[in-house]
Structure 1
């Protein structure tokens, strides 16, 4: 961390990891989770730190979630707080997103609003379906909602996991909820969520069904993020990556997005790491070579980008908020080569 940056505050006085990350200039790209599925359920606040192990609705599902993950299925469980406008007393909302194909641009969605007593049964059926076990979702057909046209912005405000998410997530959530959702003509909902990783980048946000992650968000970036009516370069510093790709693929994908602009988000895409440095367990690679395959929505044009990603710097970050910071050096990366191949 550079001297002039650390002089802005005392590390012993600063409780928030995201302030340390931001002051050091840590780039959030490549830190989005990589998922094929999302399972999101309404659960009223307050949310203790171990909400998934303590809440009576969710606790019976823990072993099933573990079984799903043991089978190598990338799923992101999340909780959202009921909203006075969106939610229905006595009912629980369940959002289920899934990757529709190898090449894709956004996740497909099923939404259910079920009586509270049926929420655990529904989630159990979905998880068993993922593991290709006998199940029956037809009993929930009457509760399914036709909301595929609705964009969901998920803002982490889970202060019990990390103070930064409460301190910085809540103002961003309130602004999005009060200023942007009401004028969207029913096409945008904004939710408070439990932790989904990366609190050193608070305020952090997941944008569904697209699956883009954002961090270190500033109020002045919200109009561009929501309305997509300006240069994409204005969002570069806030982009954590797309959930359809892994770390090095995400870093390369941002560079392509910066070149092509908003239309890139509609391209069908997938990625693979072609080669990378061999390192000891727990160490981060210095370089990787990746390929991002793409197709325009009607598949009339197919192609790929090949990129080399290289470490270019180290900065100091704090992975958790605390009175006395535990600091860690984090590698930063750049795309040193990006070539389009047909």
Structure 2
């Protein structure tokens, strides 16, 4: 199995990545130099107090994902950044960013503990508007993220530099799931997940440019979903991108509802409401159903051994209400 790469298996099988974005309410991105161990929290630069906090979070019902990030060009000795992306109470809003700096990584845990209690950051706050793009390069967790993630990360750095996008930061990130979609990416503050990006699709997403044919190809092949929405609604939202094109990203999401579903999870009736820039409200309902004609079986990870059913979903019966 040394020659087996789960990302190549997924690609050759034609797996549609839509509906695989995580839906955490909060992401904590901790600056930590590589290398990272298979379980990132056990990496050598992580202090014990952070490991303890990580275990405490895991034992609660907090919807928090702790990830390690690193960019050697941004890293400064004697300083550790921590970026919190917290889901807004408003359905339509992006994640809200809180960024702070401490002099030593060991100082992060007490600041985070207090933040979880009262929502306040008792440290040096960094107030900058940024777009943080996370590229999984965590090869010790899954070799696909090294084989595909590392080259893409280096190319993404060059692309952003060539475009002089000073507000865009590219980070290596520890495992967040979906290594079979490597190179896989999260784009904050929107928390949109992407799969199998190359520099052409990355440029298009970064700049929101490209003709209708290319947009359709990009979002059909490379879009995992919008982390603000539950998985079935992610499938319908992708359909709306294909319908409205780049204009969709100028519309304001108002709400989403799960109107009906069956016990087996292969049928969902979804409603999404949104407003155009002219304040015109639109409500769309549709069925998100498993496409039985496209069922595939995948091992799913490089260290796996068992084939598992990987359902593929499609959108039917769209109506405007």
What is the TM-score when the length of structure 2 is the normalising length? Answer: 0.90
Greater RCO, CA 8 A, separation 6+: 1
SS in 2 for 1:249: helix
d(CA) in 2 for partners of 1:15, 1:147: 42
* 5+ long unaligned stretches in structure 2: none
1:76-225 correspondence to structure 2 within 5 Å: 76-81=65-70, 83-116=71-104, 117-129=106-118, 137=121, 139-140=122-123, 143-148=124-129, 150-181=130-161, 183-225=163-205
Deviation at 1:296, TM superposition (A): 4.2
Deviation at 1:14, TM superposition (A): 3.6
Query: Is the alpha carbon distance of 1:75 and 1:266 closer, same or farther for their aligned partners in structure 2, counting shifts above 3 Å?
Result: farther
The answer on whether the counterparts of 1:307 and 1:339 sit within 8 Å (CA) in structure 2 is: yes
Deviation at 1:247, TM superposition (A): 1.1
Instruction: Say if 2:321 is the partner of 1:309.
Output: no
d(CA) in 1 for partners of 2:252, 2:179: 29
Post-superposition CA distance 1:246-291 (Å, at most 9, x none): 1111001100111112232243324232211112xxxxx2211111
Query: Is the alpha carbon distance of 1:296 and 1:115 closer, same or farther for their aligned partners in structure 2, counting shifts above 3 Å?
Result: farther
Q: Report the number of matched residues.
A: 310
In the other structure, the counterpart of 2:55 is: 63
Deviation at 1:325, TM superposition (A): 4.3
Deviation at 1:158, TM superposition (A): 0.5
d(CA) in 2 for partners of 1:268, 1:176: 28
Moved over 6 A (4+): none
d(CA) in 1 for partners of 2:320, 2:114: 43
d(CA) in 2 for partners of 1:74, 1:292: 23
The answer on whether the counterparts of 2:18 and 2:235 sit within 8 Å (CA) in structure 1 is: yes
C-alpha RMSD over aligned residues? 2.0
1:26 to 7, 15, 21: 15
In the other structure, the counterpart of 2:261 is: 276
What is the TM-score when the length of structure 1 is the normalising length? Answer: 0.84
Query: Is the alpha carbon distance of 1:74 and 1:218 closer, same or farther for their aligned partners in structure 2, counting shifts above 3 Å?
Result: same
Deviation at 1:293, TM superposition (A): 2.3
d(CA) in 1 for partners of 2:16, 2:172: 24
In the other structure, the counterpart of 2:239 is: 255
Query: Is the alpha carbon distance of 1:13 and 1:61 closer, same or farther for their aligned partners in structure 2, counting shifts above 3 Å?
Result: closer
